[in-house]
Amino acid sequence: MLRWAAIFFIIAIVAAIFGFGGVVDAASGIAKVLFFVFLILFIVSLFTGRRNSSM
């Protein structure tokens, strides 16, 4: 998921260089959403990931 966020971020940068305003807004919005979803899933996986089974 982090890869997709990075891809949309790169698309937003390239579109900004060429002056496509609508594409920049859409791509950067998608990149932000994907990054925050990744961040939330990462934090959840830290708490629910590996547990010590010897307890």
pLDDT given for residue 16 in this prediction: 81
Q: How many CB atoms lie within 10 A of CB 45?
A: 10
Look at the chain and report how many structural domains it folds into: 1
CA distances from 51 to 39, 48, 55 (A): 20, 7, 9
Which tens digits make up the pLDDT trace of 1-55?
678 878 888 888 888 888 887 888 888 888 888 889 989 988 888 888 766 656 5
Tokens 């899933």, residue? 41
54 within a domain of the structure (yes/no): no
pLDDT of residue 1: 67
pLDDT of residue 54: 60
Residue 26 lies in a domain: yes
Identify the domain containing residue 16 by its residue range: 2-47
Domain annotation covers residue 30: yes
37 in any annotated domain: yes
pLDDT score of 28: 82
